Amino acid sequence: MLVLAIESSCDETAASVVRDGRLILSSVIASQIDVHSRYGGVVPEIASRKHMEAIVPVILQALDDARVSLDDIEGVAVTRGPGLVGSLLVGLQAAKSLAFARELPFVGVNHLEGHVASIFLHERHPDFPFVALVVSGGHTNIYRVSDFGSFKTLGQTRDDAAGEAFDKAAKLLDIGYPGGVVIDRLAKNGDTGKIPFPRSMKNSLDFSFSGLKTSLLSYTKKRTTPIEQNEIPDIVASYQEAIVDVLVGKTLRAAEISGTARVVVVGGVAANSRLRYRFHDDAAKKGIEVFIPPISLCTDNAAMIAVVGDHRLSRGERDGFDLNALSRWPLAFRQEDEKFGS
């Protein structure tokens, strides 16, 4: 099935054309293209309208890049939540309009399930069941995944997400933006054991990164002399290692507890090179297979939404034109092996 997918849950406006939930024909992300050239060079001043301005050019670009027309599209998938309702509605309305005008089936997809499903766009992907770590700026969750739509939450953050811990540390140290990328780069020349930052919640699969952030704040406040540039690599390498340690440790423990030897790592933070290295290294020692998509599929994109959409549309699932956006949409509540989306 040839699916057009749209994603607009947070910062990115994205569209993608994917064949059979496996083959990406195009994947367009607004921040990476010159949206305004399609509007004759009108550059808007206010970022708040960016989804609305980007949505049509992004969809057109996705069709162009895939060398298909709307006549070829067989179904539409769109992110329904979780996210900002105002942002979600832009994508949802576009999807509904297309589906209505072209008489195409459409389904609303969970953004987090999309992240998990992004692994199926990678040549090397696991069979069900597996344990998945979804780790980004806004989310840090461990799931046991038995099938599409069948998730059990094993762990989640109690305060800050891992991506936020990276971003705020970069802000505290004033080393630039985006924080995760800057820290990843600077940490390569640092000593991971130089500063003993805390690893919290050792006896749980839940995460807490707020204490780590406070620990870094205290480290900077206790100093009597300003932090020199040449100290930054050791500081960020130690800080990054504290995050990586708990992400890797808890996810592999979750796999052992739930009796699966397959682990999937997805979301923006899965682009972190130290995290990728440590996952492969630590998992190999435990006989666990690790699957991480290429970096282009880790950050928010629409191709991952097409994977879930293709699966559901192929089974004959349809959503109605009264489908609403959901700001909060957990994949599964704790302790419940429930099916969602009903």
Number of residues counted as binding another protein (CB under 8 A): 40
Task: Measure the CA–CA gap between 41 and 34, rounded to whole angstroms.
Answer: 9
Long-range contacts of residues 46-50, Cβ cutoff 8 Å, at least 24 apart: 50/13
* Least distance from another protein to the Cβ atom of residue 161, Å: 6
x-or-dash string of contact with another protein, 57-96, rule CB under 8 A: -------------------------xxxxxx---------
List 168, 250, 278, 311, residue binding another protein (CB under 8 A) = 168
Q: How is 303-337 classified by DSSP, letter by letter?
A: HHHHHHHHHHHHTT----TT----S---SS-TT--
Report the 10 Å Cβ neighbour count for 112.
26
* Least distance from another protein to the Cβ atom of residue 124, Å: 29
* DSSP designation for 123: S
**Do 9 and 81 touch, CB atoms closer than 8 A?**
yes
Should residue 115 be labelled a site residue for another protein when binding is judged by CB under 8 A?
no
Should residue 200 be labelled a site residue for another protein when binding is judged by CB under 8 A?
no
- Cβ proximity to another protein, 87 vs 251, nearer residue: 87
**Do 107 and 309 touch, CB atoms closer than 8 A?**
yes
Residues sharing a CB contact under 8 Å with residue 161, sequence separation 6 or more, in sequence order: 135, 136, 137, 138, 139, 140, 209
Should residue 163 be labelled a site residue for another protein when binding is judged by CB under 8 A?
yes
List 31, 48, 189, 204, residue binding another protein (CB under 8 A) = 48
List 93, 146, 150, 215, residue binding another protein (CB under 8 A) = 215
**Amino acid symbol at 129:** P
Should residue 223 be labelled a site residue for another protein when binding is judged by CB under 8 A?
no
- Cβ proximity to another protein, 273 vs 327, nearer residue: 327
Task: Tell me which residues touch another protein (CB under 8 A).
Answer: 10, 46-51, 82-87, 136-138, 156-161, 163-164, 167-168, 171-172, 210, 213-218, 221, 327-328, 333-334
